[in-house]
Structures are given as structure tokens and as C-alpha cells.
Amino acid sequence: MGFLSGKRALIVGVASKRSIAWAIAESFAEQGAELAFTYQNEKLKSRVDEIAEQTDSNINIELDVTSDESIENCFAELKNHWDEFDILVHSVGFAPREALAGRFLEATDRESWSIAQDISAYSLTALSRAAYPFMKERQGSVLTLSYLGAVRSVKNYNLMGPAKAALESSVRFLAADLGGEGIRVNAISAGPIKTLAASGVAGFREMLNGYAEMAPLKRNITAAEVGNASAFLCSDLASGITGQVLYVDAGFNITGFAG
Ligand code: NAD
Ligand code: 0WE
């Protein structure tokens, strides 16, 4: 019996086998959780269907977080399967590609800023609100994925930094708001991992090399390591932990000078 047995989790953010959300789903399934998935659009449906099947889940619902109607429809459909669930995983982030290269000052326009904030930060609160009626009797837990760019400047991460800062702040406000019902809200700040969202990012390979050199563990992290830490944070083993940002980054963030 795993430490998530008897728990039901909704996983938002699987796009491929490399997605961090997929590694989280695998760890959750290993620990005995029952899973439901969402897919962003028709193009991704069959891929997520296939992935869901591997964790014995037959729940896969369309969800575009930029649309209130899509959020409403998604949770209405979920209601046909589950009256309640325990865990919401939010593993969603996006900014227009042009905004993620070059000088921050030049690359940051109003439209890109608003898209990055909407998809990467606001969606956590929107999904938490929709999930609340399902979770409120079950002392559930919400988890999101952040990155060091929330609190440090990182070349080319640009406006995603302020979006992750808003996301991490939302974790604290949601934790305070939902704590009364026993619902915990946390983030994992992951080190760089080669996923779809990282592909095509200029200099990503150099970044992986730099991390491995500087991080206390002298290597990069795996998506499975994020999955395992997620399983812990969303389980009763972490019942005293809320409003936190847990770094799963081989220790990179604590380094000042790596000799
Ligand atoms: P990914 O591309 O596999 O996942 C991003 C997900 O966001 C995709 O599933 C995509 O469908 C979803 N998404 C984007 N726009 C959406 C919308 N409008 N509606 C619904 N879903 C939408 O990449 P990933 O690296 O697994 O990213 C997952 C999370 O992890 C993101 O929040 C990212 O910022 C964070 N993160 C990634 C890394 C990394 O190096 N890969 C490091 C730290 C944090
Ligand atoms: O949060 C992320 C991914 C952010 C991201 C990446 C893309 C590329 C493709 C958001 N939107 C898009 N839009 C696209 O069109 N990470 C933590 C991974 C990441 O992305 C970077 C990084 C790191 C690390 C971008 C620049 C610099 C570093």
C-alpha cells in the first residue's frame, strides 16, 4: 500500500512523456493514487489519452485555462466521474516565445505580459476555486510548479520571472485562505529539465551544464525526482506543510560561489 492510496488527484499539465506533470502522475500512481487528467487542446488529446491509460485512468477532459467556460465545463464533466477529490496538480506555464529572448526591457510588451500572467499565475487561483467544492471536505492539497526565476534574475526567462513571482505569492494567499478547511497549497521550484516548455529555449543546454557544475549535488535533477517530492507534499506525510516553495534543484539555489 502506497502513501497516496485512497487519494484522488486531478493532474493538469501533461503534454508529453517528458512533462513534469507526467512524472508526477507516475509517482502518484506508484503510491496508489487514482488519477484524472486534462489536455489543453484537441491536438494533445490522444497523447494524454495514451498516458492516462498507463496509470489505469480513463478520465481525460479538455481544459484551456485561458477560458472561464472551459474551466467550468471541465469541472462539470469531472463531476460525472468524481463527487470529491483530494489533490490538484497545476503544472502549467506559458509565455509567447518572442518574450523569452533578448533584453528584458525590449522583449516585455503588455500583451505578452498579460498572457504569461494569465496562463502561468492566475490559472492557479481559477483552478483552485473550481476545485474547492470537490476538495473542501477532504483536507486536500494543491501543488504548483515554479522556477528560481521567481526570486532571481535568469537570462532570457524575462517576464516569466514576474509571472512565477505572482504564482508563488498566490500559493501563500491561497494557503492562508484555504487553510481553515484543512486544504494545503504548496509549490515545487524545480531545476531545469528538458521538456517541451524548455525545448527551443536559447542556451538551455549551456544552462543544464552550468547547473550541474554549480549545484551542490554536481548534477541536474530528473523529472522523477520532482514526481517523488510532489507525491510527498500532496500526501498526509506533509500534513503540517502549507504555503511553501520547496526547491527540488540539486541545491543550486543555495549556492553563492561554487569553487
Ligand atoms: P510542458 O510543456 O510539458 O508542460 C507545460 C504544460 O502547460 C503543457 O501541458 C501545456 O499543455 C500546458 N498549458 C500551456 N498553456 C495552457 C493553457 N492555455 N491551458 C491549459 N494548459 C496549458 O513543460 P514542463 O516543463 O513540464 O512545465 C510544467 C511546469 O513546470 C510549468 O509551470 C513550468 O514553468 C514548470 N517548470 C519547468 C521547469 C523546466 O525546466 N522544464 C523547471 C521549473 C518549473
Ligand atoms: O517555466 C519554464 C518554461 C517557461 C516557458 C517556456 C516556453 C518556450 C516555448 C514558457 N513559455 C514558453 N513558450 C514557448 O513558446 N521553465 C522553468 C523552463 C525554462 O524556460 C526558460 C528557462 C528555463 C529554465 C526560458 C528562458 C531561460 C531559462
Output the pLDDT for position 1: 83
Output the pLDDT for position 199: 85
Output the pLDDT for position 200: 82
24 and 144 Cβ atoms separated by less than 8 Å: no
Whether residue 14 has its Cβ less than 6 Å from ligand 1: yes
Output the pLDDT for position 38: 98
Å from CA of 125 to ligand 2 middle: 21
Across 68-83, average pLDDT:
98
By alpha-carbon position, which residue is closest to atom 21 of ligand 2?
Answer: 157
Dihedral class, residue 33 (left if φ above 0, else alpha if ψ from -120 to 50, else beta): beta
Whether residue 148 has its Cβ less than 6 Å from ligand 2: no
- DSSP codes, 47-82: HHHHHHHTTT---EEE--TT-HHHHHHHHHHHHTT-
- In this prediction the pTM is 0.99
Asked if the model's pLDDT at residue 25 lies above 90, the reply is yes
Q: Which tens digits make up the pLDDT trace of 198-230? A: 988 889 999 999 999 999 999 999 999 999 999
Q: Which tens digits make up the pLDDT trace of 87-135? A: 999 999 999 999 999 999 999 999 999 999 999 999 999 999 999 999 9
Ligand nearest to the CA of 124: 1
Across 142-148, average pLDDT:
99
Share of the chain above pLDDT 70, in %: 100
By alpha-carbon position, which residue is closest to atom 10 of ligand 2?
Answer: 94
Nearest to 235 by CA among 86, 54, 47, 101: 86
Q: Residue 46 class from Cβ within 10 Å (0-12 exposed, 13-18 middle, 19+ buried)? A: exposed
Confidence grade of residue 47 (pLDDT, cut at 50, 70, 90): very high
Share of the chain above pLDDT 90, in %: 97
Asked if the model's pLDDT at residue 187 lies above 90, the reply is yes
**Out of 39, 122, 132, 157, which one is annotated catalytic?**
157
Contacts with 240 (C-beta within 8 Å, 6 or more apart), sequence order: none
Confidence grade of residue 259 (pLDDT, cut at 50, 70, 90): confident
Whether residue 161 has its Cβ less than 6 Å from ligand 1: no
Output the pLDDT for position 220: 98
Q: Residue 43 class from Cβ within 10 Å (0-12 exposed, 13-18 middle, 19+ buried)? A: exposed
CA 30 to CA 71: how far, in whole Å?
Answer: 28
Å from CA of 248 to ligand 2 middle: 17
CA of 97, closest atom in ligand 2? 15
Across the chain, mean pLDDT equals 97
Output the pLDDT for position 202: 86
CA of 193, closest atom in ligand 1? 40
Asked if the model's pLDDT at residue 173 lies above 90, the reply is yes
| Residue 211: active-site member | no
Å from CA of 77 to ligand 1 middle: 23
By alpha-carbon position, which residue is closest to atom 29 of ligand 1?
Answer: 91
